[in-house]
Amino acid sequence: MPDLSQWQPRKWPISQPFHCPDISTGKVQVWRVNLDCTETVKTKLYSYLSADERDRAARFKFDHHRHHFIAARGFLRLILATSLNQPPASLMIEYGDRGKPFLSTPPQNSKFNPQPSTLPLRPTPPLHFNVSHSDGVALYAISRDRPVGIDIEAIRTVSSITDLAQRFFFAEEAAVIQNLQPPQQEIAFFRGWTRKEAYLKATGDGLSGLETIPVALLTPISAQTHTQMTIGDNWWLTDIALEDDLMGAIAIGIEPSPPSQGSHPAHEIPPPLQFFHLIPV
């Protein structure tokens, strides 16, 4: 069983404002929430959504998909808004050409937000974030000064897993997966998938480049044990400790340090990660 002690519980009495720790420059926060919530919580979260998000929610065919979407988006707005001292419904979330979300909050008292907020706007650097959810659990990565990407997947049986590996992984990676037996086969596949997807979500390149990103498949890496991977000179990658039936990974942008000797820059020390479990009560 993975060590889940890194997750600090943060309770949210929904009748009161939510308080989350300040996101310091140079640090990255990872939040997790369970998306199966009560009707009272769901109603509160729905009130935070934009008109576009409500339209998207209405288009889901199945209730549980709609409920998870509402919860995932509502919790995202709650965490971001609290970090910025802004009302959750006032945030403008937009998307890049390949689907990466970014925050474009209008100035207070603008035509988008005519009512003055009672909360002071913090003079902060841009807020980077990313979100993923699977099997009723959502993960959020947030940083003041670093691009981030995050992914979570439920480890499950996939009938065409070797075909998928051949399509989306390097030939050497696909061969590793083909030579394994269940359940190690599924574990290796989703370990590789989440690492690749977290990186591509951080860069904003989308999933079209899964087969171009080499990652290790058999070796766990963890911020707790100070093990991680670097991709090129600009990205740091590590797994996220979750229950045995879930796999998660996060990619974080780094800046190479100036070379002290020789011509090759040294990699920046990985940023501190803080892990929080948001629990509505």
CATH for 149-259, options being 3.50.50.60, 3.30.390.10, 3.90.470.20, 3.40.50.980:
3.90.470.20
- Equal CATH topology for 8-116+125-144 and 149-259: yes
- Structure confidence at residue 223 (pLDDT): 60
- Structure confidence at residue 95 (pLDDT): 85
pTM of the model: 0.87
Q: Give the domain ranges of the chain.
A: 8-116+125-144, 149-259
Residue 124 has pLDDT above 50, yes or no: no
Residue 206 has pLDDT above 80, yes or no: no
The answer to whether the beta carbons of residues 212 and 200 sit under 8 Å apart is no
Complete DSSP assignment for 4-58:
-TT-EEEEE-TTS--------TT-EEEEEEES---HHHHHHHHTT--HHHHHHHH
The answer to whether the beta carbons of residues 152 and 242 sit under 8 Å apart is yes
- Structure confidence at residue 270 (pLDDT): 72
- The sheet carrying 246-253 orders its strands as 148-154, 246-253, 235-240, 229-231
Separation of alpha carbons 271 and 281, rounded Å:
31
Higher-confidence residue of 116 and 201: namely 201
The stretches of the chain forming alpha helices (DSSP H) are 39-46, 51-58, 63-84, 161-168, 171-178, 184-203
Per-residue confidence at 143, pLDDT binned at 50, 70, 90?
Answer: very high
Which residues face 154 on adjacent strands?
Answer: 246
Query: What would the pLDDT profile of 226-256 be if each residue is shown by its tens digit?
Result: 456 677 668 899 999 999 999 999 999 986 5
Among residues of the chain, what percentage have pLDDT more than 90? 62
Separation of alpha carbons 99 and 116, rounded Å:
31
- Structure confidence at residue 227 (pLDDT): 57
Q: Find the mean pLDDT for residues 20-48.
A: 94
- Structure confidence at residue 204 (pLDDT): 86
Q: Give, in order, the Cα–Cα distances in Å from 151 to each of 34, 90, 130, 191.
A: 15, 26, 9, 10
Per-residue confidence at 25, pLDDT binned at 50, 70, 90?
Answer: confident
Per-residue confidence at 123, pLDDT binned at 50, 70, 90?
Answer: very low
Q: Is CATH 3.90.470.20 the classification given to domain 8-116+125-144?
A: yes
